[in-house]
Amino acid sequence: MDYSVTFARHYSRLVWLLLNESANIEEQKAALRASVTVAKDGPVTFATQDWRLSVNGSPLPEALTGVQDLTAQMIGHAVREIVIDQNAAAADLLGVARILAAEAVPGDGGDAVQGRVAALGAKTVQIKVAGKEVLMPRTTGTVTAVPAGATPPATNGAPAPRASGATKRASGSVGNGFLAEDSGSYLLFSAQQQPKGSAADLLQQLDATKSVNATTRLLDDLVTVAENAAREGKNDIVALAFHGVVAREAATPESDLKRAYGMSIRRLTKPTLLRAVAQMMPRKKELLDACMLVLSRSGEDGADALIDQLTSAQSLGDRRIYFDGLVKLNAGVPALIHMLGDARWYVARNAADLLGEMQAEQAQGPLTELLKHDDDRVRRAAITALSKLTSPKAVDALRQAMRDSSPQVRMQAAAGMGGRKGLRSAGTLTKALDDEEDQEVQLSIVAALGRLGTADAVQRLIKAAEPAGGIFKKKPTALRVAAVQALGEARTPAAQNALQHLLEDKDKEVKQAVFRLLMDAQAKKS
């Protein structure tokens, strides 16, 4: 592999880490060290063209980690080229990477990033910004954009020179602050540009064009509109603009046009904008599907936005909407696992509930650790989640919970064991029933044995349903009735035979329970 591609792989990963894992210092150091090492082999030049990134003139595969992010950041900052000298200094490489990973200033033509790089004092890394191409030479300290075909104004009384054809072609018609439609370059600004039109207007214009350059300009305006709306608290406009871009990307065939949409989505995928979209979900139910499409397209970032809203939601209705949205996305598992350690009991409980609904097997270990939590509400949520996992270790955790100090936790664990067919489950429940003193927990264990319906479970239920032996012994009627109902749920021949014998029982409540079960079974057959 050419050294420039190897360098690009490490350097784009460094930018990606600064963007997405700012706290991962060790990985950042590793990527920087690798970049410094490869830079010894020769100079490297990154360039953007048609929404693609090239290195030393060769297109980079977009599948490499960070390549698309680096491309989006360069375009967002209006950086056309990054020129890296051979033996580039680590401080210069890291400094420029941090500048690229920072939030861009929309429409400044690269002035902000140029100023930051100049302040950095980097000697081995230089950038070239797109905006400088559309600035006329300074005469009196102001910048004047000259419309195509117009005569530049005279200075100091001297006649203005006529623009040559070559100059016109090079300038590319900058009267409106953009390069000409056929220039093949990106959106360039001669000064801060304000979007012309609302989000709805811009989306209509997008539908009316198939030009990559025109689409790029409109998308850039939409990003600016969304960012401005987020700052002003106009979350409905953020949702409209973001959804409009996502929906049109999905409907566009694979092409440079689709890549333009994809890059804009990367620029829109920021915590502030995603938070604005998520906040609209309970406020405007008619936008729920649109918001979900945006958050789904944003992957883990979208899930994180929902998790943040779920954590801070004040009403049960809002929490339900965010909860259901996360389950539908089936994303955000790492963040939810992290939330299991939150000091707020309800945050840990909500995270456990969500991980269970998602059947996130990778959460089995952290959920098991949660069985040590001080709050039994959190432990119950952990048991419910573990009951929905299929790994043997999850069953072991349920078995461990059968010895919890809280009766409610033991009841929840018994319910979870009832869904696990197998000899070990029946043995665990049978032993627990023999040792259990709390009647409510006993009833839960009996019900779980009925759901299991194994031969061992049925034999233990028959024993529980039978009257106590001896003159001075008496079983609680509630326990015997629960055992009868569990035998009815088991529906095995042995269970049915036991019920027939119990029709002659001396306890009226037991006899009535058996009679009702047999009548219901006969009615279902007929």
Predicted structure pTM score: 0.52
Distance CA 143, CA 391 (A): 68
486 has a pLDDT exceeding 50:
yes
Q: Which residue has the higher pLDDT, 253 or 197?
A: 253
pLDDT at 327: 84
427 has a pLDDT exceeding 80:
yes
Question: What is the bridge-based pairing of β-strands 125-129 and 79-84?
Answer: antiparallel
pLDDT at 169: 31
pLDDT, tens digit, 9 for 90 and up, residues 428-444: 898 999 888 898 999 99
Q: Which residues pair with 55 in a beta bridge?
A: 46, 58
166 has a pLDDT exceeding 80:
no
pLDDT at 194: 60
Query: What confidence tier does 137 reach under pLDDT thresholds 50, 70, 90?
Result: very low
pLDDT at 180: 36
Distance CA 338, CA 300 (A): 14
Distance CA 78, CA 49 (A): 12
Rounded average pLDDT over 319-325: 88
Q: Which residues pair with 125 in a beta bridge?
A: 84
127 has a pLDDT exceeding 90:
yes
Rounded average pLDDT over 233-250: 93
88-97, 402-411, 473-482: which range is least confident on average?
A: 473-482
Rounded average pLDDT over 87-113: 88
Residue spans of alpha helices (H) in 418-454: 423-435, 439-452
| 381 touches 357 (CB < 8 A) | no
Q: Which residues pair with 53 in a beta bridge?
A: 48
For residue 173, report the phi and psi dihedrals to the nearest 5 degrees. Answer: 60, 90
pLDDT at 330: 78
Distance CA 134, CA 131 (A): 6
The C-alpha angle with vertex 434 and arms to 481 and 507, in degrees rounded to 5, equals: 25
pLDDT at 100: 93
The mean of the pLDDT values for the chain is 81
Distance CA 136, CA 447 (A): 83
Provide the sign of the torsion angle of the four alpha carbons 498, 500, 505, 510, taken in this order.
positive
Of 76-85, 99-108, 494-503, the range with the highest mean pLDDT is 76-85
What share of the chain has pLDDT > 70, as a percent?
85
